[in-house]
């Protein structure tokens, strides 16, 4: 199974013409993030048969030079968002490495599918592309990973992500849940939740190579 086959299966069962027509108009008349060529970057960097971890976000960042197709990840020249800073703070406390880069492309190449539930957004308008069809598509992606892959770790931060647990076969996958890393909630259970070491412990239990969450550019404690 590969992403092309997954996409074909999804589009054979769901009609996304209205969504694509809407997006064509939005991209031609508005400023929309991410750039059109980066909408599916999460799938380009993480092949289906290499998915080990799924981190579910919501819609992309709506500021300039931020979104580039990976949940929580930011372009190198973009403004560093507070949620990502808190993710890195927990990473340092959990595993002992200090990341400074704003992008998460190395995580994606390690097998971490960084999946937003909505893949596009209008500039400066959070949630502006919700309910146009993306949620149907990404729900099907989650179900496909659950069905065709084994021993994947699903990391669900915040209530919207946790609602996706119903799509996951928890008898053969791990689910790690906590509040969202946003400054509004991080101190209510995200800090100290140790998602990175928990994910790696699960992967190693089933003979999988753990994720190198630190990356080559990180300082390791």
Angle at 45 between CA 38 and CA 9, to 5 degrees: 80
Residue located via tokens 């999460």: 42
Q: In sequence order, what are the residues at sequence separation of 6 or more whose Cβ sits closer than 8 angstroms to the Cβ of residue 219?
A: 97, 98
Residue 59 falls in the annotated catalytic set: yes
Number of residues that this document lists for the chain: 221
3 state DSSP class of 196: helix
Question: Residue 136 and residue 18: Cα distance in Å, rounded?
Answer: 13
Cα separation, 94 vs 87, in Å, equals: 10
Distances (CA, A) of 138 to 13, 58, 86, 101: 14, 11, 25, 27
| CA dist 13 → 9, 16, 162 (Å) | 7, 10, 25
**Active site residue: 59, 106, 139, 150, which one?**
59
Q: Which residues are catalytic?
A: 59
């Amino acid at each position: 199974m590969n992403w092309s086959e997954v996409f074909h299966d999804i589009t054979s069962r769901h009609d996304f013409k209205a969504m694509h027509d809407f997006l064509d108009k939005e991209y031609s008349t508005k400023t929309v993030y991410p750039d059109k060529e980066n909408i599916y970057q999460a799938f380009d960097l993480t092949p289906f048969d290499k998915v080990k971890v799924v981190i579910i976000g919501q819609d992309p960042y709506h500021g300039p030079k931020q979104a580039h197709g990976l949940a929580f990840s930011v372009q190198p020249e973009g403004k560093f968002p507070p949620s990502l800073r808190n993710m890195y703070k927990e990473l340092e406390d959990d595993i002992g490495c200090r990341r400074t880069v704003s992008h998460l492309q190395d995580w994606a190449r390690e097998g971490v599918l960084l999946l937003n539930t909505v893949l596009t957004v209008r500039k400066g308008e959070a949630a502006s592309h919700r309910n146009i069809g993306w949620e149907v598509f990404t729900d099907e992606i989650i179900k496909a990973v659950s069905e065709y892959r084994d021993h994947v770790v699903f990391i669900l931060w915040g209530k919207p992500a946790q609602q996706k647990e119903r799509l996951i076969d928890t008898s053969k996958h791990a689910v790690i849940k906590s509040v969202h890393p946003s400054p509004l909630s991080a101190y209510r259970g995200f800090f100290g939740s140790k998602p990175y070491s928990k994910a790696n412990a699960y992967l190693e239990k089933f003979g999988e190579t753990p994720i190198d969450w630190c990356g080559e550019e990180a300082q390791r404690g």
